[in-house]
Structures are given as C-alpha cells and as structure tokens.
Amino acid sequence: MPETHRHFIGGQWRPASDGSTFDVLNPFDGKVYAHAAAGTKADAAEAVTAAEEAFPAWAALAPREKQKMFLRAADIIDRRHDELAAILAEETGSSIYFAQFQQNVVTSVLRQAANWVFDTKGEVLQGEHPGTFSMGVRKPLGVVAAFTPWNGANVLVWRSVAQTIAAGNTIVVKPSEEAPISAGLVVAQVAEEAGFPPGVINVVTHAPGAAGPIADEFFERPEVRCLYFIGSVRTGRMLAERAGRTLKRSVMELGGYNPLVILADTDLDYAVRVATYSAFFHQGQICMCARKVLVERPLYEQFVQQLAERAKALPQGDPRDAATVIGPLINDHAVTVMQDRIDDAVAKGAKIVTGGRHHGRIFEPTILVDVPDDAIASYEETFGPLLVIQPVDSADEAVEVVNRSLYGLTASVLSADTYRGFEIANRLKSGMVHVNGPTVADEITAPIGGVRDSGWGRHGTHAREDLTDLVWIEVRNDEVDLPV
C-alpha cells in the first residue's frame, strides 16, 4: 500500500487542515507511489507562525549546538543513502547514478553548513569621528519561504534549507507537487531525527494546481521576510513581481538557455563526452543542462556525427535499473512540450540528426541542426533531452550568439588553449562559466546562480549576503556636538 505523508509543522506531523490528500505518481509507470497532504492556506499560516515563534531562540542558539545538528543530519543521510536514492528514482525518475550523486552532494552541503554557522561575519568600519567605534553586523532576516523544485530535488531543497537556517533564519518549505517527498518531506524526516528544534524547519505540501493559496499566505504575512525560489523563469517573474509589491526580499535561481562553445582546437572525443553529459544528464531536466552547442566549423561535421552516435547508444528505460541513463520525463505535459518544440523547429527548416521520438514518457535524446533563429528551440529552454547544434566561423561569433540570449545561468568553453578559453569565458554574459568542463557542475563553495533573466542571488557560502541584513552599529564614547 502506498504510504500517506503529512505536513511537518512546528515539529509535528499533521494532516491537511481539511484532511485531503493527493496521489504522488511514479513518472515511469504512472502508478501511485505515495499519497501526500493536500495543503491549504490555513496549513501555510500555521507553518509561518511556527517558524516565527521558533526564530528568536534559533537565532540566539550557540553555533556549536547548531553544528551538532547539521553533522547528525549528514550522518543520517549517509545511513539512508540507498533508501533516499530509491525514493528519488520512484518519485522523480532520477537514474540510480544521479540519485546517489545527490545524496553525496547533500552530505557535503550539510557538513559545510556545520561550519557556516560560525561564518556569519560582519566588519569593523573606519569611522570619521574620534572616539567612535563603528561596525557592520550581519543579522538573520527571520522567516524564509522556499519554493523547491522536483528536478535535483534532494540537492536543491537541502541547499535552500541548509544555507537559510545556518544564517540563523527559520524556514517554511513548499515543495513541488511533483516531488513532495524528495523536495521537502525527506528534509523534515531528517531534521526531526537530527534534533532540530520544532519550528526551525517546516514543510507544507499541496496538490497539483493548488500552490496559489499557500503562496498567498507567504506574501501576505509580514513575518516572511524572504522568498527563495528555484524554478522556471515564468513562475519566477510572477513571484518576483509579487515580492516587489510587498517589499519582500527574493532570491531567484531560474532557468537558462545554456551554451556550450567548442573551439576548433578541442579534442574531439572529449568534446563529445562533455556535450553528452551536459545535454542529456537526467534527461536534460536540469536547469544547468546545455541547450545549444556552438562549434567552430573545422570540427562541426565530425562532432555532429560522433555526438549522434553516442546519443543513440545511451541506455533508455526504467530509472530503477542501474544501467539506465535516459529515464522518463517528469509528466505527460513535459513530453508534449518536447514534441511541440521539435515539430516547430522541423516545420521551420530544422533537421533531426537523431531522436525525435518517444515511447511513453521516455524521449529519445534528440539533436537538431539547421535550426532557424525563430524556432522556439533556438532560444527557449526545453526541459528534456533536446540539443541544438550550430556551426560558427569564429570564437567571436560564438560570443555574439551567446550574449544575444536574454538568459545567463551557466555556460562552458572547450579549448586546448586554456588561456584562450578563459579569455572567451570572461566575455560571456553568464552567472557561471566553465572552461574545459560541462555546463552541469556544482561546488559547495562556489557562487551558484545566474544573471539577467536567469535570476539573482547566490547559493552556497555566498548566500549569507542574501539571507542576512547588514546592520550598522556605531558606539560613541563622547557626547555628540549637535547644532540644535
């Protein structure tokens, strides 16, 4: 029998206020994997209240006590490694490799966060007046509301939670309805066992299409000081507009149209391997996946041919099978969007080099060439295994094409000349650029995030600037000479 999961509010497991639940489906076979509480505005209100009540004590708790909890949480995830990976495969269609990869990243995040609790630093300021001591002090914001996505569910929810509470805030997590367990409730389970105080971490789930009332509560409550969102540009734009109207801080990691630039001096075999990983990892359902490859002409024909051969050979099927590389797209809508993008491009003159078909929710890795600029696949992110390849006559042309995009999440440049690769990387308008590496990359100490329409704010150690207030405190030893 599928397990029924409840909200986690104020340290207690609670059903939805009206008792309703919704089905959580396995994206590969469509079967009901679990049931989850179908949250309401009232549930969100209770979660915000619990977080607000927990905030003063959590903010004041000694760093060494917080550190113990983070380290215990990491140990729990190590112990549950295979179990949590299996949940990801069942709920989100992650391959076993990607699911296990996520657990390894999460434990690294938590062990880093155990040190972040000591690292919310201010600075001593040089004052203008004798007899004064001036400083900038970082203070936690209060309650943060996090919207966490289904893709890379464990990594992205834990990164949001760990850096938020390490800075002294409390949090309410609203996971995607596609992954309420992996993108939310798993965190609550681990937090409870690790001993985090009630109310520090709260999770409210909701049925498909029912996020609105919960989001309304976050925007209406003054206690919520920051909205943390990882997801699509369209939804991020809507949330940012609402945050602006209520003067709430927002941190947005949004999608992108990520380029991979391959210069003619690049080793061909390595370029093919990097492109395969960048484009087709997790079926292209990662915000960092490459969407367009720009190849200098001397390498273009060979590159297209060899990449197509490698893409065809990627094992497809049940993500629970350790041999599977290409699993299912998350739902039928994703399949429809992928097919529509291919059909639109072909109707406008593009050619399919390989792929273009799907079997249920398994979509073959698809490569398009000769894609005109007005085809949607040429400029908008498609969350699936779809890659556009375009020849360029020079590195300068590649830079011009990349910077024409409105997005700027991540990019890669491949070249045998590392310095030349760096020089080109420095010209790209992107929040992250990798020289001689794939577009999909994650480092705990790196400033993860985009520029332009791909959002603002950063994950990792740099997140403290978004998740704290910098307060000026001035101490005077003498009376101030006032004019009146």
Whether the per-residue pLDDT at 204 is higher than 90: the answer is: yes
What pLDDT does residue 484 have? 86
What number is the average pLDDT over the span 407-430? 97
| Active-site annotation, residues | 253, 287
pLDDT 10s digits, 217-233: 999 999 999 999 999 99
Tokens, residue 165: 């509470």
Question: What is the pTM assigned to this prediction?
Answer: 0.94
> 């006590």: which residue's tokens?
65
At 255, the amino acid letter reads G
What number is the average pLDDT over the span 71-98? 96
What pLDDT does residue 122 have? 83
User: What's the pLDDT band for 126 if we cut at 50, 70, 90?
Assistant: confident
pLDDT 10s digits, 272-295: 999 999 999 999 999 999 999 999
Q: How far apart are CA 337 and CA 340, in angstroms?
A: 5
What pLDDT does residue 450 have? 95
- 375 within 8 A of 350, measured Cβ to Cβ: yes
For the chain, what is the mean pLDDT? 95
For the chain, percent of residues with pLDDT exceeding 90: 92
Whether the per-residue pLDDT at 137 is higher than 90: the answer is: yes
Whether the per-residue pLDDT at 61 is higher than 80: the answer is: yes
Q: Is 5 exposed, middle or buried (0-12, 13-18, 19+ CB in 10 A)?
A: buried
User: What's the pLDDT band for 131 if we cut at 50, 70, 90?
Assistant: confident
- Angle between the 63-79 and 96-116 helix axes, to the nearest 10 degrees? 170
Which of 46-60, 379-393, 446-460 is predicted least confidently? Answer: 446-460
Distance set, CA 279 to CA 121, 196, 283, 290 (Å): 39, 38, 8, 5
